[in-house]
Amino acid sequence: MTVLAHAVILLGLLTALVAFLRYLQAADRVSGQKGTGFLTRAAAPRQLVKIHLVLVVFASLILLTQLLFHDFSNGYVFSYSDRSLPLHYLLSSFYAGQQGSFLFWALCAALLALSLLPYLQRRRIEHQVMAPLMGIQSFLMLLLILKSPFESVWSMFPQVPAGSIPADGRGLNPLLQNFWMVIHPPVLFVGFAAMALPFAFAIGGLWKKDPRLLVESALPWVLFAVAALGLGIMLGGYWAYGVLGWGGYWGWDPVENSSLVPWLVGMGLLHTLLAQLRTGKFIRTNYILAIATFVLVIYSTFLTRSGILGDASVHSFTDPGMVVYGALLAFLGAAALSGAVLLAIRWKEMRPAPSGKEILTREVALGAGTLALVLSALVVLFGTSLPIFSTTRVEPSFYDSTNLPIAIAIGLLIGISLYLQWERQDGRQTLRRAWKAIIASAAVTGLLIALGVRDVLMAALAFASVFTFFVNLDVAVTVARGNWRFLGGKVAHIGVAVFFLGVLGSGRYSTTEHIQLPVNTPQDVLGHRMTYTGARELPDGKFAFDVRLEKAGGMRTLAPVMFETREQGIMKNPDIASFWTYDLYISPVALEGEQDALTLQKGVASPLGEATVTLLGFEMTAHGQGVPQDGMPVGAVLKIVRGSEEETITPVTVFRPNSQPQPRPAESRLLNGRVSLMTLNVGMEGGGSAVTVALERHGGGSGEALVAEVSIKPCLSLVWAGTVLMLVGFGLSIVNRSKES
């Protein structure tokens, strides 16, 4: 089976490469040049594309068969599955590792290429677009030759005796054993594969001197690519929020960011393509953005699969070896260089329509909006790439503070652009159309200020979001009276406004408490009565901690989970109670004897029994022996004062790549117990930095207590509602543009 699989992958590479060359030859023949030799005698490129898809599907079925039948002679199957996994997790093991994810990407790309063929044939642009697509497919297949999912277990694990097949596999990472693992990665890879489509249209247009090819043919596929990648990103956010215990849906993790950057640029491309369709402007801009989107996808792949972010992100894959590292760099360089060279050659030929001196026009607003999106992408790209060049890493607060003014600008531009004229400036008419939305937005913003929004920039974001909502709702009502198919952009923009309001409420105005819940002892926490009723073992060996939640006569039980893994230590899954206006989020921290939990802000003395505790700062040096070589110890320097006595202690937590933090308590004489550093909050989703410490008193009570982090996240449902509206809008736009094309 392994020999057959290797042969299929090799044939897949050959068919993709020959199809690429045959499409180059066919395009030259259309231009009047003649082909000779082997290529002339080879099968038609269209047939080669179909044969290639069959081979990639066949290779995928071989891997799936080996996973389903537990063929642990395959090193990849041994690494990412075991006999206890249910069917859906065995299926998701297909793309759990580097090798399988490359194969799945190649499968998605091959399916998209075949889906694109009829469209290209009708428009008579098959050769110039399919040539770059099959070139990309050749690179993907080369990666599968260099990093194959069909290597034997003996070559991947020398400690396994040759010819001996392990009785069971190492299993799937426990954090990946979740429903969203079945959905999120496939959608994300479809988005990655689809981002190659605008790149192929752009390369084809530049190559064959057809500057209008991109704007006239690519728009439905750009919409599809942006929608697919955006859906993949937000499914990942929902997974993180509901399962991973981050405390939120977005932590500005480098691997998260590497998907966001090409999506932002793709969104910019979408809007300037619309402007070019109407005005003939932004020709050069669109070709640059179309090439950049896919180059950034490859760069994202390089960051996440080269192992270069292994110390900066818990999501990053391990080092695949210098050969694959070099191949990814070559892939990146080839895509960037081919686009740059063709742009330089055709630059003078791509003359946009002459621009007037008017500023208050719709095309100027769309151009400014695209500039804001690209600027946001550059900010995120800088912070994400910093670990490559420096040991310094940016905190989440950097992304929050730099992107907030950009989000305000985007919100205002989305709103005002719909009241502006194409290529004609009429300030009075714009103001006459906008005044109702301005007054309504000011009124709603005033209400939000009365309810507690005090920050000036937050109030500005609220105004911009509400303004966008009212403007697009007004225009949508008018459009719906004519043809509902044209509602897509308006619905998507309403979704953006709702999403921004959800980010504003859940990120900036969430409230968090770190609490201790002794068993069967009710406590009032953030306006809710909470009672920890005990732990129970789940069928999969994990432990759920039942917390009875009472609010306004209603009652429900939350069950956050903790479990221990062989390689990653203690893992935690939160539980969430969703209400109309907020979510109550509870994440377990520890289960020990009765103890006190305390959240500390730097420089602020906080009472703990008869003493006060102050966080003085942090120590990053190794404390004592036994710190693993790849471990990063972080110590919280605490000053404890009781009466006239004072002491300083430093509890430490050791952080390791792909492992849970390991607390190392410090003894406190004045507190008569051990102090553990439990969590470090570095400002995720706009919050301030803080630490949580737990005190286990010597000779204290023997009752069980759950230490947990409880948060109230206002308007969180708006984040998900806004995402759904954006996707509905994309869907309507795809249908409309497909019919037009």
- DSSP string covering 311-334, please? TT-TTPPPP--HHHHHHHHHHHHH
Give the Cα separation of 108 and 110 in Å (integer). Answer: 6
Give the Cα separation of 678 and 665 in Å (integer). Answer: 9
Instruction: Tell me if 703 sits within 8 A of 593, measured CB to CB.
Output: yes
Give the model's pLDDT for residue 134. 95
Label residue 589 by pLDDT band (50, 70, 90): confident
Question: What would the 3-class secondary structure string for 552-567 be?
Answer: CCEEEEECCEEEEECC
- The terminus-to-terminus CA distance of the chain in angstroms comes to 45
Handedness of CA 499, 575, 579, 596 (dihedral sign): negative
Alpha helices in 451-549 (DSSP H): 456-480, 488-503
- φ and ψ of 599, to 5 deg: -95, 130
Find the mean pLDDT for residues 645-669: 81
C-alpha gyration radius of the chain: 28
**Neighbour-count burial for 669-679, b at 16+ CB within 10 Å, e otherwise:** ebbebbbbbbb
The Cα-based distances of 142 to 25, 111, 153, 325 in angstroms read: 22, 18, 21, 13
Residue 313 in tokens:
């992100």
Instruction: Tell me if 266 sits within 8 A of 377, measured CB to CB.
Output: no
Taking the C-alpha atoms of 110, 115, 119 and 121 in order, what is their torsion angle to the nearest 10 degrees?
Answer: 60
pLDDT tens profile 462-514: 999 999 999 999 999 988 887 777 899 999 999 999 999 999 988 888 888 88
Task: Identify the bridge partners of residue 673 per DSSP, sorted by sequence position.
Answer: 668, 697
Instruction: Tell me if 523 sits within 8 A of 533, measured CB to CB.
Output: no
Residue 517 in tokens:
């819940």
Give the Cα separation of 491 and 723 in Å (integer). Answer: 11
Residue 115 in tokens:
């889906």
> According to the per-residue pLDDT averaged within each range, which of 322-326, 401-405, 670-674 is highest?
401-405
The structural domains of the chain, with segments of one domain joined by +, span 1-172, 174-366, 595-700
Residue 440 burial (C-beta neighbours within 10 Å; 0-12, 13-18, 19+): middle
- Nearest alpha-carbon partner for 185 in 106, 92, 267, 118: 92
Give the model's pLDDT for residue 412. 94
Give the model's pLDDT for residue 339. 94
Give the Cα separation of 570 and 578 in Å (integer). Answer: 26
- φ and ψ of 554, to 5 deg: -90, 160
Find the mean pLDDT for residues 244-253: 75
Give the model's pLDDT for residue 540. 77
pLDDT tens profile 88-106: 999 999 998 889 999 999 9
- φ and ψ of 391, to 5 deg: -80, -10
Give the Cα separation of 417 and 43 in Å (integer). Answer: 51
Task: Identify the bridge partners of residue 646 per DSSP, sorted by sequence position.
Answer: 641
- Nearest alpha-carbon partner for 557 in 529, 590, 597, 525: 529
Question: Mean pLDDT for the chain?
Answer: 86
Verdict on whether the full-model pTM lies above 0.85? no
E strands, 492-551, are 511-518, 523-525, 528-537, 543-551
Give the model's pLDDT for residue 344. 94
pLDDT tens profile 596-642: 778 888 888 888 878 899 988 888 665 444 555 556 788 888 999 98
Instruction: Assign 642 to helix, strand or coil.
Output: strand
